[in-house]
Amino acid sequence: MKLVLLDFLRSLRERQELEGVIINLLRAMRWTVVASPQTGVRQGGVDFAAVGIDPDDGIKRYFLMVVKSGDIDRPAWQDGVQAICPSLHEILNTYLPERVPSEYQELPVKILLVTGGCLKQELTGDWAGFTRKFSEPNRQFAFWGGDELSGLIETHLLNERLFPETCRSAFRKVLALAGTRDVISPHFVTLTKELLNAESSVPNGIRGIRTINLSLRILLRWCEDLGNLNEAWLCAERSLLLCWEWGRVKKQFKSKAYTVEFSKLYDTYFITCNKYVNKLAPYCLIPDGLSRSVGCSAIEYHLWTQEILGRLAAHGLNLMVRVQTDDSEKRLKNLQNVARLIAHMLRNNPIAQSPIFDDHAIEIAMALTVLLAAPDTQEYAKQWLEDLLARVRAAYKYVGCHYPIDTENFDDLLDILYGGKENKEEHTRASTLFPILADFCLIYDQRDAYQELITLVKEVFPHSCLQLWFPDETTDERLYVANAGLESGASYTCMKLPDTLEGLSSEIAATMAHVWDSNNLSCFKEGMPIMAWISARHFRTPPVPLLWRRLIPLVTDSSKATAVTEQV
């Protein structure tokens, strides 16, 4: 385990990444953090100031840390204003005389040089000479490199109490197979559940979330180095859902400790999604680029494009969450860029515009929600609605395959492709896709597309039962751990599409007034409806209609794009 951690620490090329590990370590060591890095604030050469028990001799000290990423060589020691030697002199000349809080001035001081790498041999003499010259009875110096940090992390973050032996074994298996598959690691699920043991105390659970976050960061780095982020994405999704469920069960949503750690975990999920989308983006910008990225068969390519559509849309929804908390022009621009990337992906991979499972309605609903982010992507979404309906008609009526079937069974899909056309009605007896498309025709005010949808249902799919799933009072107990649609909620079946959008709007209002109020789900109550989207994508739970139906009063035009994103 120490070798794994040492390799991870050495791989942290950005100082901010190392600082994130250090702050978690200091808290686990029960040190009081007095100061931490702040952008644009002069800190007297100090990156971290903390009070705690020295692991070397058990004495309580005031620790001042200078943090650098990577190995420390001569340029890092002496070149530039950010070099180590000037920082140490600033600590001695400015921080210690003027900035130590009065309540800690009587404590002995220890100045730490911290890095995830090592001190190059060329500098060992300089470091020894400096520390010997400026050491005093009440002032010491020490070097914490990758070896020291990995030992402290193993002792304090990954010890028996926080990381049982069963978890260590699971974690080793996760890393041994990292980047080699495109499915979620069962060992990581085991690790997460062990760390969130329902029988454990709340403080242990909070520490468990912190350790899960560190584990995810390690897994992300390994998957990134191996060039395959699929598993890191899926593990981040599942961890987020399980940690939300733990907070719900333990009633921790109002706890500052929980919200801080969950926010950090969500940041890791966001970073994972961002890295994945950045890696994928070039393939979305060239014709049939996704087929080149995976090198698979035609049917796998078809399914892969739907998976990619969902992942791009998931990151767009992440950015919508960021816009809600900080509506800066930069964040809105990032959101709009992801919406445009979705449009480019669909244009360049036309096969993605033909859903072949009915539950691809999840990805389509997510994408149509994100496409509301900018006026130009709204226009694309309107055209996509029309094209999608035309493609479904042609696929069913003329091609005889590549239309949305109402199962998730790959064998049924093969039966349609190679078993003949006589099974068409058998595999299209139910549809959630068509009612969802009807709702988005209303959201985008697409009257022609809505009339085409009515005609399609009447003429081509008269045998299909249109239905939507709605949560009930038991759904929140299942939504974040499994497919909640199998064990909770109720389906509104045999739906009839009204003749006009106005009629559809009235019917939606009447339906929402009679079903259980989805606003009572914890993710809506706590201002994180994106958790319902993540659950739908991850577990294939039918999407909660409130996710998009609350946009209907804002039937949007180009001037309302920002207002819509704030509601998602």
User: Strands 430-431 and 139-144, how do they pair?
Assistant: unpaired
Provide the token pair at 331. 């964040």
**Long-range CB pairs of 88-96, under 8 A, 24+ apart, other chains included:** 88/45, 88/113, 88/130, 88/134, 89/45, 90/44, 90/45, 91/44, 91/45, 91/46, 91/64, 91/66, 92/134, 94/44, 94/45, 95/43, 95/44, 95/45, 95/46, 95/64, 96/64, 96/139
How much of the chain exceeds pLDDT 90, in percent?
61
Among the ranges 10-24, 25-39, 346-360, which has the highest mean pLDDT value?
Answer: 346-360
Cα 551 to Cα 501, 513, 567: the distances in Å are 15, 16, 7
Query: In which band, very low, low, confident or very high, does the pLDDT at 564 lie, cut at 50, 70 and 90?
Result: very low
Element at 528 (helix H, strand E): none
Mean pLDDT, residues 213-230: 87
Lowest mean pLDDT among 69-78, 266-275, 385-394: 69-78
Range list of H helices, 135-201: 146-152, 165-176, 186-195
Give tens-digit pLDDT for 83-95: 899 999 999 999 9
Give tens-digit pLDDT for 465-512: 999 999 999 999 999 999 999 999 999 988 899 999 999 999 999 999
Among the ranges 16-25, 422-431, 493-502, 555-564, which has the highest mean pLDDT value?
Answer: 493-502
Beta strands in 198-266 (DSSP E): none
Provide the token pair at 152. 């402290």
Among the ranges 7-16, 155-164, 368-377, which has the highest mean pLDDT value?
Answer: 368-377
Provide the token pair at 353. 């515009």
Range list of H helices, 349-446: 361-370, 375-394, 410-418, 433-443
Asked if residue 70 has pLDDT above 50, the reply is yes
Residue written as tokens 């100061």?
35
Cα 379 to Cα 143, 275, 373, 567: the distances in Å are 59, 28, 11, 20
Asked if residue 342 has pLDDT above 50, the reply is yes
Q: What is the mean pLDDT of the chain?
A: 88
Q: Are 470 and 488 in contact (CB under 8 A)?
A: no
Residue 450: which of 494, 493, 398, 504 has the closest Cα? 504
Query: In which band, very low, low, confident or very high, does the pLDDT at 185 lie, cut at 50, 70 and 90?
Result: confident
Asked if residue 566 has pLDDT above 60, the reply is no
How much of the chain exceeds pLDDT 70, in percent?
91
User: Strands 490-492 and 468-470, how do they pair?
Assistant: antiparallel
- DSSP annotation of 552: G
Give tens-digit pLDDT for 532-561: 999 999 999 999 999 999 988 644 343 444
Query: In which band, very low, low, confident or very high, does the pLDDT at 428 lie, cut at 50, 70 and 90?
Result: very high
d(CA 185, CA 102): 50
Give tens-digit pLDDT for 104-141: 999 999 999 999 889 999 999 999 999 999 999 999 99
User: Strands 139-144 and 109-115, how do they pair?
Assistant: parallel
DSSP string of 57-72? T--EEEEEEEEE-S-B
Q: Which of the pair, 175 or 296, is modelled with greater confidence?
A: 175
What pLDDT does residue 547 have?
Answer: 96
What share of residues in the chain are helix, strand, coil (percent, to 5)?
Answer: 60, 10, 30
What pLDDT does residue 160 have?
Answer: 44
Query: In which band, very low, low, confident or very high, does the pLDDT at 40 lie, cut at 50, 70 and 90?
Result: low
Mean pLDDT, residues 51-74: 93
d(CA 312, CA 366): 9
Amino acid, res. 105: Q
What pLDDT does residue 327 have?
Answer: 66
Q: Are 324 and 526 in contact (CB under 8 A)?
A: no
d(CA 176, CA 188): 12
d(CA 222, CA 229): 9
What pLDDT does residue 38 have?
Answer: 77
Asked if residue 1 has pLDDT above 60, the reply is no
What pLDDT does residue 55 have?
Answer: 93
Give the angle 68-70-74 at the CA atoms, nearest 5°: 75
Residue written as tokens 């951690």?
5
Lowest mean pLDDT among 46-50, 200-204, 348-352: 200-204
Element at 185 (helix H, strand E): none
What pLDDT does residue 421 have?
Answer: 54
What pLDDT does residue 530 have?
Answer: 96
Overall residue count recorded for the chain in this entry? 568
Q: Please provide residue 53's backbone torsions phi and psi, each rounded to the nearest 5 degrees.
A: -85, 125
d(CA 343, CA 353): 11
d(CA 31, CA 23): 10
Give tens-digit pLDDT for 266-291: 999 999 999 999 999 999 999 988 88
